[in-house]
């Protein structure tokens, strides 16, 4: 794996305004925003899989979409190699699109039910003018269907999504993202809607097919799945990165109380073991105009006085292991 970043994110923020805002905002005239992504900075290296882990509603999906500009941020910068993608015009962004793809969570919603597998998988090739004729289209689609173990490909090419199982549909979604060999893929909970036997198969296929892309942001709410698939892991909580490091370091030497709580919720490092709910006691603070203190304060068993009045910065505690907790800041 190269240490050259393919994606660089600097001070990225995405605030969603709240319409109305209720009586208290009317009285104070304070504008209210959901802080979905709040001052986040990190790199994804070439040939790296970075896992983004956190409970639902923590801002993972919003962050993934910001990285490929499916959403516009409130402020901050996103670089693909040396290009600040937020400075690109729409037509420049269209040229960059084939380099950046996304696999959506829901294989039932992400595929157009009126298109055949052949047309669905070939769509990125056609949109980006990467094929000359129908023969080449069928050849390229057949090749990736074989790689996705949808064989013989002729048996699948002319089927519609409703004629496929959930696992087969997600293989089609993965094939669509990878057929143009993008540099960077956002995989947004790609196995969370699948049954346990299919999840492991799809993950193993994605590992085998890693050569078809350079780097992934792999979004999941399950640490065990991230450990299985990712080189490094970033732990996200209420719009902020709480801890980031190599997968081994995060699992064997977790330094943030939230990471430890997540690990206790998923004790078995096996992607087939599924724990849906993280059972951490305490009230989750609202993501609407959150106070400038540690966001995990209300649930943290280690909290001290300083945690209630100062938001900890994400700092390197050694070897690139980053932690945002006052207990780790000397």
Distances (CA, A) of 6 to 43, 199, 220, 261: 8, 28, 21, 31
Residue 184 bridge partners (DSSP): 100, 215
x/- letters, 204..243, toward ligand SF4 (CB under 6 A)? ----------------------------------------
Whether 325 and 312 have beta carbons less than 8 Å apart is answered as yes
**Positions in 137-196 near ligand SF4 (CB under 6 A):** none
Out of 68, 294, 314, 322, point to the residue binding ligand SF4 (CB under 6 A): 294
Stretch in the footprint of ligand SF4 (CB under 6 A) among 13-21, 131-139, 158-166, 299-307:
299-307
Of 246-265, binders to ligand SF4 (CB under 6 A) are 257
Of 48, 52, 50, 102, which Cα lies nearest the Cα of 210?
Answer: 48
Stretch that binds ligand SF4, among 9-17, 138-146, 283-291, 300-308 (CB under 6 A): 300-308
Residue 287 C-beta: closest distance to ligand SF4, Å: 16
Tell which residue, 321, 181, 185, 300, has the closest CA to residue 253: 321
CA distance 280 to 258: 9
Given a contact cutoff of 8 angstroms between Cβ atoms, the answer to whether 265 and 278 are in contact is yes
Which parts of 306-325 interact with ligand SF4 (CB under 6 A)?
Answer: 307, 312, 325
Q: Which of 302, 309, 316, 320 binds ligand SF4 (CB under 6 A)?
A: 302
Q: Where are the beta strands (DSSP E) in the chain?
A: 5-17, 33-45, 49-53, 75-80, 83-84, 100-103, 184-188, 215-220, 232-237, 240-246, 315-316, 322-323
Taking contact as CB under 6 A, which single stretch among the options 1-9, 12-20, 279-287, 301-309 is the one that binds ligand SF4? Answer: 301-309
Work out the widest C-alpha separation in the chain, in whole angstroms. Answer: 68
Choose the stretch contacting ligand SF4; rule: CB under 6 A; options: 52-60, 83-91, 265-273, 293-301: 293-301
Candidates 163, 172, 167, 169; CA nearest to 198 is 167
* 296 scored as a contact of ligand SF4 (CB under 6 A): yes
Taking the complex as a whole, the smallest distance from the CB of residue 64 to ligand SF4 amounts, in Å, to 24
- Candidates 150, 179, 185, 303: give the one binding ligand SF4 (CB under 6 A): 303
Q: Does 79 bind ligand SF4 (CB under 6 A)?
A: no
Among residues 35, 60, 171, 326, which is the contact residue for ligand SF4, using CB under 6 A? 326
Q: CA 81 to CA 158: how far, in whole Å?
A: 38
Binding site for ligand SF4 (CB under 6 A): 257, 294, 296-297, 300, 302-304, 307, 312, 325-327
């Amino acid at each position: 794996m190269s240490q050259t970043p393919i994606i660089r994110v600097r001070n990225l923020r995405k605030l969603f305004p709240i319409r109305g805002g209720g009586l208290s905002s009317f009285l104070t005239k304070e504008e209210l925003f959901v802080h979905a992504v709040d001052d986040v900075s990190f790199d994804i290296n070439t040939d790296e899989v970075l896992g983004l882990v956190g409970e639902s509603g923590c801002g993972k999906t919003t962050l993934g979409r910001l990285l490929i500009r499916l959403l516009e941020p409130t402020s901050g910068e996103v670089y693909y190699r040396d290009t600040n993608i937020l400075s690109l015009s729409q037509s420049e962004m269209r040229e960059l699109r084939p380099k950046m793809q996304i696999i959506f969570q829901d294989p039932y919603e992400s595929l157009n039910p009126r298109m055949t597998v052949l047309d669905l998988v070939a769509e990125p090739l056609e949109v980006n003018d990467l094929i000359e004729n129908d023969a080449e289209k069928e050849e390229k689609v057949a090749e990736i269907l074989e790689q996705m173990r949808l064989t013989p490909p002729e048996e699948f090419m002319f089927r519609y999504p409703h004629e496929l199982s959930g696992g087969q549909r997600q293989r089609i979604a993965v094939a669509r993202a990878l057929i143009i060999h993008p540099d960077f893929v956002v995989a947004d909970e790609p196995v969370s809607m699948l049954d346990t036997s299919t999840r492991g198969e799809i993950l193993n296929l994605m590992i085998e097919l890693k050569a078809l892309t350079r780097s992934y942001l792999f979004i999941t709410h399950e640490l065990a799945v991230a450990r299985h698939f990712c080189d490094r892991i970033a732990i996200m909580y209420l719009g902020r990165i709480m801890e980031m490091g190599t997968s081994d370091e995060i699992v064997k030497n977790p330094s943030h109380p939230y990471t430890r709580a997540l690990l206790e919720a998923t004790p078995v490092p096996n992607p087939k073991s599924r724990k849906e709910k993280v059972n951490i006691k305490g009230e989750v603070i609202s993501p609407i105009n959150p106070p400038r203190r540690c966001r995990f304060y209300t649930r943290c068993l280690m909290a001290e006085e300083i945690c209630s009045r100062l938001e900890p910065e994400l700092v390197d505690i050694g070897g690139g292991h980053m932690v945002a907790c006052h207990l780790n800041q000397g």
